[in-house]
Amino acid sequence: MAGLFQRIRDSYPGVAVQLKEANFHSDDDIRTLSREDLHELLPGPGNLGQRKAVYELIHQQPIRDLLNNVKAFIPADTLTENGVLVDYLLILKELTTQVERIHTFLNTQVCLLEEHSNMQGSTVSQRPTGSKPDVGSSWEDLMSGINPAPYSRDVDPDESLRARYAHPEVQSSVTTQQTKIPTVKLMSIVSGNTLDSEKTLLDRVRYMGNITLVEDSSDPQLIVVFCPITSRIESDLESVMAKRPASLCDKPVLLVMMYHTHEPKAGVIQKPGSVLKRWNIVLDVNVFYHETVHGLVPCDMNTQAVTEMHATLLKHCSE
């Protein structure tokens, strides 16, 4: 990259001549020039624009130098496996996942409303010029749909629906029949310290919707086994599967193999092999957890495990 004197000479040849006469040749010498120095070098109001431009050129710092300076302030140990920046990266990935879920949710709502509008043979009415939707109330409606307010006996649910969907075309499509959410009775078996990751997994399954999970240790439809892999996978599985009551050994099992690691890698996963054939395993998934993130590690493999668990639990639901 051209030196500072060369760049000044290319843009302002007259200034370069003045600098040369004042014996300012090197970059270090030129960077010592203050506004007062430039005023003496280029006096008069006619040179005001040149003085400002040259001063900015002298004191501007390349982006690469700025980044190197920032990196110099970052301790090397923060970039290691247990460093704080790694934790921050995981937090950012988790936030990205949450934003993508919200985006998917909103797109689903838009498609649903557009489909409803097309079925009714109507078009979305245009707002008057200058008017804007009430974003605040729309967001409150959205959040109230995700986290509904507690049921009040003083409010007629049908009347509440009619009030919310006041548009005649939408109102005519609202039915008073309540949708039955499928329910699955399950028994959870946990081995060792999982940092409550099993609770987080089941909460995320509930969050996906269209399912109600009920703990029932007497007559479950499915047994969910959470097994941290701490040594050999065969011995770990043998130990946790032995915790099943003898009367429930014929029940289908959803097996969650849990790996205590900060960074999820496919190479960490152990293959259970033929040992799974000894039990009625309907699904086996691998998840990762660690105390640095207070439980489940934000990663695609954990997200995929939740999706597969949700689908399997739905298959064993009772209406």
- Exposure of 71 in the CB half-sphere (CA atoms within 13 A): 7
User: Rg of the chain's alpha carbons, rounded to an integer?
Assistant: 33
Phi-psi domain of 294 (left: phi exceeds 0; alpha: psi -120 through 50; beta: other): left
Joined together, the tokens standing for residue 313 give: 């639990």
Provide the CATH topology of domain 183-315: Rossmann fold (3.40.50)
DSSP state of 318: B
Joined together, the tokens standing for residue 43 give: 């006096």
Specify the residue for token string 């946790």. Answer: 240
Q: Where are the domains of the chain?
A: 4-72, 84-116, 183-315
Q: Which pLDDT belongs to residue 167?
A: 47
pLDDT exceeds 90 at position 1:
no
Closest to 32 measured CA to CA, from 23, 40, 24: 24
Question: Nearest 5°: phi and psi at 129?
Answer: -60, 130
User: pLDDT digits over 39-55, tens only?
Assistant: 888 888 888 888 888 88
pLDDT exceeds 60 at position 159:
no
Q: Which of 67 and 135 is assigned the larger pLDDT?
A: 67
Closest to 190 measured CA to CA, from 217, 211, 213: 217
pLDDT exceeds 60 at position 155:
no
- For residues 189 and 178, is the Cβ–Cβ distance under 8 A? no
| CA 182/CA 58 separation, integer angstroms | 70
pLDDT exceeds 80 at position 22:
yes
User: pLDDT digits over 75-108, tens only?
Assistant: 666 665 555 666 677 788 888 888 888 877 887 7
